[in-house]
Amino acid sequence: MQHLLRLFVQRLALGLLTLFAVSLVIFLSIELLPGDVAQQVLGQSATPENLAAFRRELGLDLPAHTRYLDWLGGFLQGDLGTSLISGIPISDLISERLYNTFFLAGFAALISVPLALILGVVAALHRDTLLDKSINVATLTAISVPEFFVGYILVWIFAVELSMFPSIANLSEDAPFTDRIYRTFLPALTLTLIVTAHMMRMTRASLINLLALPYVEMAQLKGASQRRLIVIHALPNAIAPIVTVVAINLAYLIVGVVIVEVVFVYPGMGQLLVDSVAKRDFTVVQTACLLFAATYILFNLASDLISIASNPRLLHRK
């Protein structure tokens, strides 16, 4: 237990160091973006004096390193700053958007994770059969197609041809739960088709390797059923690799929703990020990117610790 706690502290420190490096990259990348928020707000007819005064009011005339330290210090203290365009606190801007993004990612996860595990088990049990090949072809086809194309295909089928779901996932803050599920189904289905293949193939590969081991063959010779072989003997030892790929795909469901949210005009963090880039609202862009990075690092940390805790050979390498 002490070894696992020490490992957690080490991984957490490494994650914080990575997040610091990512914040620096985000800030420098945004500094290199073309455009000027002062010009964006005041318009092309603004005089140089008005532009200079507006930049001074926003603090954009300060050196880059000063603005970076102010932004990072405020973020660490829970102060996300204010929007350069609207003047609204960023925490107010992202609260509802962040909830919508997590709702979409959670909805997609509830579909994709069980589906991937079931397909992986079925493919492993029917290895090299027509069923196994069909599952592999279907999942690889889905993952090979860009997200926006999958989204447009689903819109064409379910919104245009069948008129079953709306093509635009417009949500109000007081929308009931059932309405959220209904309007979020197509974006969630798009994400499900994208991430299922990774988890399915890892489940299949892990189970195939384990089913070939002597202790599983011995259990099979003793008359153990297929269900017992999978649930009791194989799956517990396949947790480490499966959890890793599941956590990575769950992180992708949250940080990789930008394109899907734009396709369906879904009011989440991805749509807010794209709108803020278009408006040159750089403080919102920095905060959104850092939140995405923190989420991805946190999921990777969790998957790493769960994998190590579930495998004694990784916990005690000696």
Q: How many CB atoms lie within 10 A of CB 45?
A: 6
Token pair belonging to 8? 């957690």
pLDDT at position 314 is 59
Residue 232: its H or E element:
none
Whether residue 111 is contained in a domain is answered as: yes
Together in a domain, 312 and 245: no
Question: What three-state secondary structure class fits 89?
Answer: strand
Residues 76-95, mean pLDDT to the nearest whole number: 84
| Residue pointed to by tokens 């990789």 | 256
| pLDDT category of residue 185 using cuts at 50, 70 and 90 | very high
Whether residue 287 is contained in a domain is answered as: no
Together in a domain, 146 and 227: yes
For Cα atoms 62, 63, 69, give the angle at the middle one, nearest 5 degrees: 95
Together in a domain, 168 and 201: yes
pLDDT tens figures, 214-227: 877 777 777 777 67
Whether residue 90 is contained in a domain is answered as: no
Together in a domain, 131 and 270: yes
What single-letter DSSP state applies at residue 229? I
On the CB side of 114, CA atoms within 13 Å amount to 5
pLDDT at position 80 is 83
Whether residue 60 is contained in a domain is answered as: yes
**Most confident stretch, 58-62, 142-146, 229-233, 261-265:** 261-265
| pLDDT category of residue 157 using cuts at 50, 70 and 90 | very high
Give the chain's mean pLDDT: 83
Listed range (7-11, 94-98, 103-107) with the worst mean pLDDT = 7-11
Residues 91-109, mean pLDDT to the nearest whole number: 88
Whether residue 284 is contained in a domain is answered as: no
List the domain range (segments joined by +) for residue 46: 1-85+294-318
Whether residue 213 is contained in a domain is answered as: yes
Residues 123-137, mean pLDDT to the nearest whole number: 87
Q: Could you tell me if 113 and 246 are in contact, meaning their C-beta atoms sit under 8 angstroms apart?
A: yes
Q: How many domains is the chain built from?
A: 2
pLDDT at position 315 is 59
| pLDDT category of residue 317 using cuts at 50, 70 and 90 | low
82 phi/psi in degrees, rounded to 5: -125, 160
Which residue in 309, 179, 192, 188 sits closest to 244, CA to CA? 309
As a whole number of angstroms, the distance between CA 227 and CA 151 comes to 36
Listed range (43-57, 191-205, 219-233, 258-272) with the worst mean pLDDT = 219-233
Together in a domain, 219 and 131: yes
Q: Could you tell me if 39 and 307 are in contact, meaning their C-beta atoms sit under 8 angstroms apart?
A: no
Together in a domain, 153 and 266: yes
What single-letter DSSP state applies at residue 84? T
The length of the chain is 318
Q: Could you tell me if 148 and 259 are in contact, meaning their C-beta atoms sit under 8 angstroms apart?
A: yes
CA dihedral 289, 292, 298, 301 (to 10 degrees): -80
Predicted TM-score of the model (pTM)? 0.83
Together in a domain, 190 and 50: no
Together in a domain, 105 and 233: yes
Together in a domain, 189 and 273: yes
Whether residue 47 is contained in a domain is answered as: yes
Whether residue 67 is contained in a domain is answered as: yes
Which residue in 222, 287, 315, 301 sits closest to 82, CA to CA? 287
Token pair belonging to 209? 């390797």
As a whole number of angstroms, the distance between CA 226 and CA 220 comes to 8
pLDDT tens figures, 10-52: 888 888 898 899 889 988 888 887 767 777 777 777 777 877 8
As a whole number of angstroms, the distance between CA 229 and CA 231 comes to 6
